[in-house]
Structure 1
Amino acid sequence: MTSPYNKALAAIDAAHALDPKIITKPDGNEIAYELHYANKMTHYLSLRKPEASETLKLAIRAQHLSRWEVPRSEYPMTKLGYFSWRNALKKRQAEHVERICIEAGYSTNDAARVAALVRKEDLRNDAETQALEDVACLVFLDDQFEEYEKAWEDEDKTIGILRRTWAKMTEEGRQLALNIEMEERPKAVLAKALSGA
């Protein structure tokens, strides 16, 4: 008999697989980007918190649930527009995964806990929420930063983003971040950001 966890995980991944953005992995296989992202999130959770609860594992996996359905372009291209978009996504993703968890057989309390984690509630006081934040920052640094760094022309802006990312992380998250392999240019920018230069 399939467990509620496996049912929920399969439903989350089925939604990720619908992402129209397809990337090619180093081994040559193609994968929907959001499924790739979810795999990265799970990988870093296994390093950051190997004893993670099922609810945290599901919240980690659902971070970008159906994210492509609400493009950034639907909101003003301003800082306020960005935060409005991000907050709307968190709310939408939390509601979506809460439904998935209930349909998979979880209690309403457990489903609500997954949703609260996706919304990053009580970030500074909840160890699981903070672990999720660490993992999201690690995936940004590992999987997205090099691409963004090439696109951003303003080094000061890039350094500011890196410093804000670093400030969000715990010491455990930072130690894992220091082990991420990067090309020379992004590695140098990160070192500059962390040095305070």
Structure 2
Amino acid sequence: MGKPQIMQQNILNQVLNDIDQFNLNDPNKEIDELGTEHAKEFLYGKRMSNCLHDFMLAPPAELQIAARAQHIGRWLSLRSDYPEGRAGYLKWRSDLGKKHAELCAEIMRKHNLDETLIDATASLLRKEKLKRNPLTQALEDVICLVFLKYYFVEFANKHAQEKVISIVQKTWAKMSEQGQQAALALDLSDEALSLVKQALA
């Protein structure tokens, strides 16, 4: 695979905006920290981008696009469409990654972007070469950080403590050392921090 092209900032902004416009179609709603309602995956995409820029100085275009498109069209493929159990869950997650990559590629091609850049972005969204590709690992780190910062407390309130601790341990194992250090620096609630510490003990 060749080296992805350098994108002009205005084109990058247009791609990110098109991803946002797609995600505004999400019928599910979520309230942000200021009490404003948003389409759920639109808000998630914005949180991913903000967290990425906090985590990495000047991330490359393919990583910026993949972060914003991490959940593009997620509402179109429901977990309930797949069998219960781990096998069904893994199949759902794998198909989601492929769907996100396809939807993102369609947007990028609309802007006549280089196929090398499109392929690199799609590879990130499919989580290929985790632990071996630094950009795939960076995307995974940001996904974990966004979960811990914005969604962890709600998740913890819905599940037994044993399951929550197990999820934190699995999340931690996916992260790089840099990602783990960033996670420990998050401004977590006392409840969330206590659960994280128990998981890491």
Task: Give the TM-score, by structure 2 length.
Answer: 0.92
Q: Distance in 1 between matches of 2:180 and 2:144?
A: 9
Matched, 1:10 2:21: no
Unaligned segments of structure 1, at least 5 residues = none
Q: Distance in 2 between matches of 1:25 and 1:51?
A: 26
1:89 pairs with 93, 96, 99, which one? 96
Matched, 1:49 2:78: no
The offset of 1:191, in angstroms, is 0.5
Matched, 1:127 2:134: yes
Unaligned segments of structure 2, at least 5 residues = 1-7
Name 1:29's counterpart in structure 2.
36
The offset of 1:98, in angstroms, is 1.0
Q: Distance in 1 between matches of 2:55 and 2:188?
A: 19
Aligned length: 194
Q: Distance in 2 between matches of 1:76 and 1:183?
A: 35
Q: Distance in 2 between matches of 1:88 and 1:139?
A: 22
The offset of 1:25, in angstroms, is 2.2
Matched, 1:116 2:116: no
Q: Distance in 2 between matches of 1:137 and 1:6?
A: 24
Kindly provide the CA deviation profile for residues 59-78 of structure 1, in whole angstroms up to 9, marking residues without a partner as x. 11100010011111111221
Name 1:177's counterpart in structure 2.
183
Kept in 2: contact 1:146–1:182 (CA 8 A): no
RMSD: 1.5
Matched, 1:187 2:193: yes
Kept in 2: contact 1:94–1:116 (CA 8 A): yes
1:158/1:2 Cα in 2 relative to 1: closer, same or farther (>3 Å)? Answer: closer
Q: Distance in 1 between matches of 2:150 and 2:34?
A: 16
Task: Give the TM-score, by structure 1 length.
Answer: 0.93
1:100 pairs with 94, 103, 107, which one? 107
Divergent runs of 4+, >3 A = none
How is 1:66-81 mapped onto 2 (pairs within 5 angstroms)? 66-81=73-88
1:2/1:144 Cα in 2 relative to 1: closer, same or farther (>3 Å)? Answer: closer
The offset of 1:44, in angstroms, is 1.2
Kept in 2: contact 1:101–1:111 (CA 8 A): yes
Name 1:157's counterpart in structure 2.
163
The offset of 1:182, in angstroms, is 2.5
Percent identity reads 36
The offset of 1:2, in angstroms, is 8.4
Kept in 2: contact 1:146–1:186 (CA 8 A): yes
Matched, 1:137 2:144: yes
Secondary structure (helix, strand or coil) at the match of 1:3 reads helix
